[in-house]
Structures are given as C-alpha cells and as structure tokens.
Amino acid sequence: MERIPILKMGDFLLVTIQVDLYDQLAENLESDLINTISKHSSKGVLIDISAVSIIDSFMGRILGNIAVMSRILDAQTVVVGMQPAVAITLVELGLSLNGVISALNVEKGMDLLRSKMQTSDNEEPEYDDDNE
Amino acid sequence: MGAECIISGIRPEIAQTVVHLGIDLSGITTKASLASALQTAFEMLQLAVVKRKKIVE
C-alpha cells in the first residue's frame, strides 16, 4: 500500500507530500503521523504541501485534525509551502484551519518551530544560586 | 475550584478518537509523558528540583 514517508529530524517530524492526496492516503497519513509522534515524543511536525495542487474539504479537515491531534500529544504543527490556489480554496470552503500555523517555505517553517521550542524553554524558571 | 489540570500519556488512538468525537481539549494542557507533565506542573508552581550540594567540612 502506498504511504507518505515521515522523516524524523531530531525533535521534529518532516512530512513532504509529493503526490496528490486521495482520501485513503490522507487517512493513513493521519494515523501514521500520530503514531510516529507518540513513538518518538516529537515536539513539532512540519508538513510540506508545496506539491499539492488540489485540496478539498476532506483534506482540509484532515490537516486540521492532524494539528489538533498533535496538539493533544504536545507537538506543534506547521504547514509550509501552501500554493496560492490552495489557500484560496481553503478560505472559500470556510476552513479557517484553527491551530494550524503556516510558513512560506520549509526553511521558515523550521525557524518557526525552533523559535516556538525556545519560547517554551524560556518559560522554565531560572535558578538563583543564593548558596554560593 | 482553582486547580489546574494536566493530562499526560494519551495514546495515539485515544488522541484520534478524541478528535473524531469532536471533543475540544484546547483549554486543557496535554503533555506527552508524565515526566513533561510533572515538569510543567513544577513550572506552574515555580518549584525546582535541584541536587543538594555536598557539605564540605
């Protein structure tokens, strides 16, 4: 069965969708991705949809679902490389994709994920060494 | 009642089910593991676990 590869890059997962998605493939991707996040306890997911030229309401919903599920498993989702036509379609379909953060390209998406990681690291308290 | 709730250790199947059932967990902090949940709880309470320094005589 055809599958979309999920690459592990440190704390992040990289998914590049190079083929047009059909429903079964998208559903498999959803469950594969969630299982992989859980397996590696990943902190972020980067989905590259630059090669996706057509998106329907089902695909939009899957993307939203992936983002919400990742959030539950403590991982941020960034969608990168969305084509203008796809963005127009998503808005016209009324899918606001809440919880999905977008970036223009993979590079910017990676920077975004890293900065998100850093801000969560900074929330940790700083230890005052009064004993010294 | 003024208590914060953190859920940890949600299995991937459960996460999928939660989303498919349309349950909104956005208001609840969810963490991947008990360790990270405990860490978050400590941060909320501004507590830190530090190694005690050896007393040099």
Query: Which residue in B19, B33, B48 is closest to A125 by CB distance?
Result: B48
Query: Which residue in A41, A73, A131 is closest to B15 by CB distance?
Result: A73
| Closest chain B C-alpha to A51 CA, distance in angstroms | 26
| Closest chain B C-alpha to A6 CA, distance in angstroms | 16
Kindly state the tokens that stand for A89: 């379609």
ipTM: 0.79
pLDDT at A19: 87
Kindly state the tokens that stand for A2: 């055809």
Phi, psi of A115 (to 5 degrees): -65, -35
Residue numbers in B near A73 (CB within 8 A):
10, 12, 15, 30, 32
pLDDT at A116: 86
Q: Over the stretch B1-57, which tens digit does the pLDDT of each residue have?
A: 888 899 999 999 999 999 999 998 888 899 999 999 999 999 999 998 899 888 776
Sign for the pseudo-dihedral over CA of B49, B51, B56, B57: positive
pLDDT at A132: 46
**Nearest-Cα residue of chain A relative to residue B18:** A69
Residue numbers in A near B33 (CB within 8 A):
41
Mean pLDDT of all residues in A99-128: 79
Mean pLDDT of all residues in A44-63: 90
Mean pLDDT of all residues in A53-64: 89
Q: What region does A99 belong to: left with phi over 0, alpha with psi -120 to 50, or beta?
A: left
| Closest chain A C-alpha to B1 CA, distance in angstroms | 24
Categorize the per-residue pLDDT at A122 as very low, low, confident or very high, splitting at 50, 70 and 90: low
Asked if the model's pLDDT at residue A34 lies above 50, the reply is yes
Asked if the model's pLDDT at residue A100 lies above 50, the reply is yes
